[in-house]
Structure 1
Amino acid sequence: MKGKIINSHSRFGGFRFWPTALVIVVFVALYICHSYVDLSYRRDLVASGQWWRLFSGQFVHNNNSHLFSNMAALLLCRVLLSIVYGERDFTLSLLSCAFITGVLIHFLLPSYEYYLGVSAALYGVLIAGALAMWRGRPYAGASLFVLIIAKLSLDYLVPDSVDGVSERIGVPVAVEAHFIGVFAGVLVGVGEAALGLIRPAALPPE
């Protein structure tokens, strides 16, 4: 069924980004809270029943640099995916990718005792968005998908390439978790397509 085209001009015309703005406010609020109460993913505490850490750990950050770099990445994702995601769909995709990533890290990465940060979930959002874009703009969607996989492959095969980032954010870059985020994005993208939540993108009229 042919869906409605997202008009990026109307989306950007007024302050229609309040959900994304709210997410950023939540990032900051959780960062402050995390300085007093640990909200990160911790395997031992999840095993003892604190399942909420699967979700909260995706939205807290280690230091200012970690927080600000991920907020910038969130805004970049929002701009890149504006032609396929309205505010509701973008926010739902982010929350879904964050939750699924947390669950998959717990069950598929037993070596991860500790994790925090939204970067893996953002990779998932990009992948889900690339899959949505693929149906309306196949070359753009495929290019975005390939670029993400190439970037992650470089991070994995050349660990030194992320040393600078690790030093800046104060924790090792969780490359394996980023791949888990990609897997979560594939699941979310397929689910969104099946449920008809994504409206096919098209070029704005000239």
Structure 2
Amino acid sequence: MCVFAVFNDDVTPWLQFDRQAILAGEWWRLWSAHLLHTNSWHLLMNLAGLVVIIMLHGNYYRSCAFAFLVFAGFMLISLALLFWSPAIGLYVGLSGWLHALLVFGASEDVRRHWSSGWLILAGVAAKVTWEQWQGASNDLVMLIEADVAVDAHLYGAITGLTLFVLMLSFKQFYPPKQA
């Protein structure tokens, strides 16, 4: 993401979520858009969010599972934007996926009977509901120099819960080998 930020003006036209380009067959944009940002503040906020989430739930992720969450999360959020948010023509940013990762980790907290998971899920639900009702803060819009795609946050939260249930189901059907 930091390398893309250095060359932002050059790579964004080729890698951003662009509805028309995706529909014309440029499917890589479903993944690459999440690695781009509108400006340095946008990148720094998303990186800070990633650090906090990793500090909270990083011990839940093995490399393979984390890679799956990245790949599947990016794809599901982008497909949701493509099919359910026709007003969004262009999109960049990691915040939708950060919502997915946070909900995934909080769901694992709940599975482990940690009350913090319920608090995080309630907080995410309240934030996403508020954004759907009121939109994003004007200060945030000015800071990142773009409209905030609050639908990506909603789809990210839904994706996190969906991937948690999917991975939990997968573990039940294919339990780890016994030593």
Q: Structure 1 length normalisation: TM-score?
A: 0.76
Structure-2 separation of matches of 1:52 and 1:83: 30
Question: Which residue in the other structure is 1:54 paired with?
Answer: 30
Higher fraction of helix? 2
Moved more, 150-159 or 57-66: 150-159
Checking the alignment, whether the CA contact within 8 Å between 1:78 and 1:90 is kept in structure 2 is: no
Checking the alignment, whether the CA contact within 8 Å between 1:40 and 1:56 is kept in structure 2 is: yes
Amino acid at match of 1:148: V
Pairing 1:192–2:174 present: no
Question: Which residue in the other structure is 1:133 paired with?
Answer: 109
Question: Which residue in the other structure is 2:89 paired with?
Answer: 113
Calculate percent identity across the aligned residue pairs: 24
Query: Shift of residue 97 of structure 1?
Result: 1.3
Structure-1 separation of matches of 2:109 and 2:62: 13
Checking the alignment, whether the CA contact within 8 Å between 1:93 and 1:128 is kept in structure 2 is: no
Structure-2 separation of matches of 1:103 and 1:34: 23
Deviations 1:106-131 (A, max 9, x none): 11111111111000011011111111
> Which 5+ residue runs of structure 1 have no aligned equivalent?
1-26, 198-206
Query: Shift of residue 86 of structure 1?
Result: 4.1
Checking the alignment, whether the CA contact within 8 Å between 1:132 and 1:193 is kept in structure 2 is: no
Q: Alignment length, in residue pairs?
A: 170
Query: Shift of residue 58 of structure 1?
Result: 1.2
Query: Shift of residue 156 of structure 1?
Result: 2.6
Question: Which residue in the other structure is 1:178 paired with?
Answer: 153
Question: Which residue in the other structure is 1:34 paired with?
Answer: 8
Question: Which residue in the other structure is 2:61 paired with?
Answer: 85
Query: Shift of residue 137 of structure 1?
Result: 2.6
Task: Note the aligned Cα RMSD (angstroms).
Answer: 1.8
Amino acid at match of 1:35: D
Structure-2 separation of matches of 1:33 and 1:56: 14
